Amino acid sequence: MDAPPPAPPASGPGAGWSDIEPINISAEMRSSYLAYAMSVIVSRALPDVRDGLKPVHRRILYAMRESGFTADKPYRKAARAVGDVMGKYHPHGDSSIYDALVRMAQNWSMRVMLVDGQGNFGSIDGDSPAAMRYTEARLAKASSWLLDDIDRETVPFQPNYDESEMEPEVLPAAFPNLLVNGSAGIAVGMATNIPPHNPAEVIDATLALLEDPDITLEGLMEYLPAPDFPTGGLIMGRSGVKQAYETGRGSIPVRARAHIEEIRKDRQAIIITEVPYQVNKASLLEKIADLVRAKDIEGIADIRDESDRTGMRAVIELKRDATPDVVLNQLYRFTQMQTTFPVNMVALEEGRPRVMGLRDVLEAFLRFREEVILNRSRYELRRARERAHLLVGFVLAVANIDAVIALIRAEPDSASARAALMARDFPAADVEPLLALIHHEGNKVEGGRVRLTEAQARGILELRLQRLTGMERERIQSELAEVAERIKALLEVISSRPRRLEVLRDELHAVRAAMATPRLTEISASLGNETDESLIEPDQMVVTITRDGFIKRTSLATFRAQNRGGRGRTAAGRRGDDVVVRSFNAHTHQWVLFFTSGGKAYRMKVWHLPEAAPTSKGRALVNMLPDVGDDTITAVLPLPQDEGEWDDLHLVFATASGHVRRNRLADFSNIRANGLIAMKLEDGDHLIGVETCRVGQDVFLATRNARAIRFQITDQAVRVFAGRNGKGVRGIKLLDDDKVVSLCVLEHVEATPEERASYLRLANQLGINGRSTADNALAEESDDAGLDEGSAAEADGDDVLAAGLEGSPLDEERFEALRAAEQTLLTVTDAGFGRRASGYAYGLKNRAGKGLINMKFNSRRGREVVGTLKVESGADVMMVTDTGRLIRLPVDQVRVMSRTAGGVTLFRVEPDEHIISVFLVANDDDAEAALEEVDAEIIETVDATAFTDNENGQGEAEPS
């Protein structure tokens, strides 16, 4: 790429290559892109902190002033203004110019309009303005405060794009327009979003800073408490405002103004009279209608827009049985009736972008305005001295009028007369005090005499005879005195900073008197995020957490059950190779405990979690749980909704290294907002699960390499730890590189090994509790009890039971008791295979043992166990793959088999796809109906009867 070009030929078409110089393309791209980025930043997207305008707005206002489209003149076609701007100053197309002009004429976009428009300039409903050939415009009165004194050398000018005209670099704004009207723009690598403010409050804050340069931010906020949006609304709380004013960045929650009104007997309505800034009213009402049709918001009977010229009025009529406060809260929560205005106060200061707080903006404006006053005073001083210099010549001529007339009459032409006047000496007694004030080099007093300059002589020759009357001579003397006083005043302004600040203060007071308007946006002490749980609609949610730390909740009705072997549906949108790693179902009013891999605990209500669609990524947990650091959320525990049950509950912790620990749930009832240390872990260890438990229940641990152990929770086996610092006790002894992957808490059932063996044999023969008699011949021998789960007897069930009970330690009553208390465990491999096994197949062992074989599998069935779950009849299980696919499967479709059986196909995965997560969900009768219209290409239902088992217990599809 950087090699030099070949040598040029001596003559012919290739001659002249010697003028080409090789360059480094990466360096050229870097410099060119930087130049482009700075051009966009400075010349298009960001406003100047001094006048608060972007170049296109500045050019529009200046061009309209130059064309005479001022507030005191008739309206002129907007197309003419756009043409002047495009032809002279802004060669970027007429549409961008007209859009900028239109926005400055919209009272819902600008807090103080800078353009006065006539015609259709759009609406708050998002209606487009009429074409520029149909609309008319002129400068608004407020624009004069931005443009006044621009012809007095107050601001620097620069050549336009073709150097045929000069345009101002900045307007001599008399008020902080950046704060009054705000600004929004997207540049290259940066953006700005500044809210509008009340002009009187902005000027009051500016005056306060002028009076006391050391005033605090709190002091400034007494004058400028918050933004004032042109569309009104309510600002909820002041914390976001203070952060934005202090740092230049923050979020301000804004609500629509609404009230409840009785429109007729037994019928109430929510009346919206103001919407948040930059919210499209028509889109807002359409969104509400969509939510009503989707039944996300209930209780709304009708929606009408009754807005007219007098103001906004949107009517949301409620049903008779609806609770207005509930519906209003839902509207705030689900629609743009409550939004957050993101403040990003980036502006150009001395040509460079900078994030600025409130004090920074006001200080920059005061410095600029003082400079404007100084430049204006210097300009006016120069003009006053020029006028005084000419008046001095008039005074000298009038005082010696006879001699001057005689001299002029004696000369043949005007040039000679001018030279004669300049050569004559005049008595300086009458004007000598003024000459020092005028400070003109041409009038030098020597020996009490003074000579005229060329400008004075020319002025005398052009003097009309009527100025020689007595009254006119007095006027000349009076004007000279006035000009002298003006020069003295200007000299004082230039030489004295306190005097300049006094002028600045007086001008700010004048602007305030002309622009002051009442505040439109109300400031509420409420934060706007308080939510009464009675207003939260009860619902079952599926909470999903991804490996990269994104969390969301989705209504359980979004998913419907499929038969085993189905293709599943997309579970979550993923960023890159992000996958779902934690999921569970919970009620909206339940508390959820979050446990990190480092042993830290957090607590949050389900309805506080972000709600999103199944394909959405959700929200980053780092934005919700503080101080997570590099840890990941490895255990999530929904607590019982009835907090009265917490007193009898404990928490049992399990780590990947096989340690367990028991704590009272009360130890975690008061968790700080920044979390709580739940467990101190050894290096390389992490939490794999936390469950609620009671004394007497059993702990079940399953490992990756298909080992499992079950032991009872007693004070001797697993004591209650008083604190949260201990690592616990050993639960299972791991072999090789094994690690614990699942923790379950099972109900304890008192039964001898003989009773369990007899029950399992009879249950297999009878095909009860999820067993299939057709598959009993395929069951493998139990590893620890020597159980013979033989072939099914082809006999009547009662006869089989009676025959089996003979010589058995069980009687019929005991058999039925064990049958009622039986629990099943579902084990799933990473290849999508799984099977249920009876809890009786896992005998009680002492804690810290090596455990039992949980499953025998090979490379086809899977390389490792993903999880072992306690399941009940009627429940559903969800499985998630590393590609983000998910399937919901009724556990009743999974047969109960031997503890060591390889299982059947539960989820048909691709060759390079693996199951990474399995979890239970509760059935919801409404889930099926909610998904009747789901695209059949996304969700595929597979008939369970299309699968049989081969001789290894492997699920295979029968050929069609």
pTM above threshold 0.85: no
Is the domain spanning 257-336 CATH 3.40.50.960? The answer is: no
Q: What radius of gyration, in Å, describes the C-alpha atoms of the chain?
A: 43
The per-residue pLDDT for 929 is 35
Question: How far is 782 from 829, CA to CA, in rounded Å?
Answer: 20
Question: How far is 689 from 711, CA to CA, in rounded Å?
Answer: 16
Q: What is 587-612+620-746's CATH number?
A: 2.120.10.90
The per-residue pLDDT for 432 is 66
- Picking from 336, 341, 230, the residue whose alpha carbon sits closest to that of residue 283 is 336
The per-residue pLDDT for 407 is 85
The per-residue pLDDT for 582 is 65
Domain with CATH 3.90.199.10 in the chain: 46-174
pLDDT tens-place string over residues 441-481:
666 766 667 778 888 888 888 877 776 666 677 887 888 88
Tokens of 125: 């409903």
Which helix (H) or strand (E) covers residue 918, if one does?
strand 915-921
CA atoms within a 13 Å half-sphere pointing along the CA-CB vector of 189: 12
Question: How far is 730 from 960, CA to CA, in rounded Å?
Answer: 52
Q: List the chain residues with pLDDT less than 50.
A: 1, 530, 534, 574, 775-795, 924-960
- Cβ partners under 8 Å of residue 277, min gap 6: 195, 196, 229, 230, 231, 233, 254, 341
3-state secondary structure of 23: coil
- Picking from 356, 337, 338, 336, the residue whose alpha carbon sits closest to that of residue 346 is 356
Domain with CATH 2.120.10.90 in the chain: 587-612+620-746
Which helix (H) or strand (E) covers residue 925, if one does?
helix 925-930
The residue ranges of DSSP E strands in 694-823, in sequence order, are 698-703, 707-712, 729-730, 740-746
- Picking from 538, 619, 632, the residue whose alpha carbon sits closest to that of residue 572 is 619
CA atoms within a 13 Å half-sphere pointing along the CA-CB vector of 240: 23
Query: What residues are paired with 949 via a beta bridge?
Result: 955
Alpha-helix residue ranges (DSSP H) falling in 251-340 = 281-293, 324-334
- Tell me, rounded to whole angstroms, the distance of Cα 718 from its chain centroid: 47
Domain with CATH 3.30.1360.40 in the chain: 257-336
Strands 600-605 and 676-677: antiparallel
The per-residue pLDDT for 470 is 65
425, 451 Cβ separation under 8 angstroms:
yes
Return the DSSP state at 130: P
CA atoms within a 13 Å half-sphere pointing along the CA-CB vector of 793: 16
The per-residue pLDDT for 960 is 27
Question: How far is 579 from 916, CA to CA, in rounded Å?
Answer: 9
- Please state, as a whole number, how many other Cβ atoms lie within 10 Å of the Cβ of residue 44: 17
Strands 698-703 and 619-620: unpaired
3-state secondary structure of 635: strand
Q: Is 134 a catalytic residue?
A: yes
Q: Token match 């009622």: residue?
A: 820
Residue 232 gets the label, from left (phi > 0), alpha (psi -120 to 50) or beta, of: left
Query: What residues are paired with 183 via a beta bridge?
Result: 194
3-state secondary structure of 470: helix
Go through 342-370 and write b for each residue having 16 or more CB atoms within 10 A of its CB, e for each that does not.
Answer: ebebbbbbeeebeebbbbbbbbbbbebbb
544, 878 Cβ separation under 8 angstroms:
no
Question: How far is 580 from 914, CA to CA, in rounded Å?
Answer: 12
Tokens of 857: 């599998």
734: exposed, middle or buried (Cβ count in 10 Å: 0-12, 13-18, 19+)? buried
190: exposed, middle or buried (Cβ count in 10 Å: 0-12, 13-18, 19+)? middle
546: exposed, middle or buried (Cβ count in 10 Å: 0-12, 13-18, 19+)? buried
DSSP notation for 386-420: HHHHHHHHHHHHHHTHHHHHHHHHHSSSHHHHHHH
| CA 421 vs CA 453, 468, 895, 938: distances in Å | 9, 17, 124, 102
Catalytic residue among 33, 75, 98, 134: 134
- Picking from 714, 592, 705, the residue whose alpha carbon sits closest to that of residue 660 is 714
Q: How many residues does the chain have?
A: 960
Question: How far is 626 from 622, CA to CA, in rounded Å?
Answer: 6
- Cβ partners under 8 Å of residue 758, min gap 6: 804, 808, 809, 810
Tokens of 374: 């100084």
| CATH architecture of the domain covering 373-498 | Orthogonal Bundle (1.10)
Look up the CATH superfamily of 46-174. Topoisomerase II, domain 5 (3.90.199.10)
- Tell me, rounded to whole angstroms, the distance of Cα 334 from its chain centroid: 16
Which helix (H) or strand (E) covers residue 734, if one does?
none
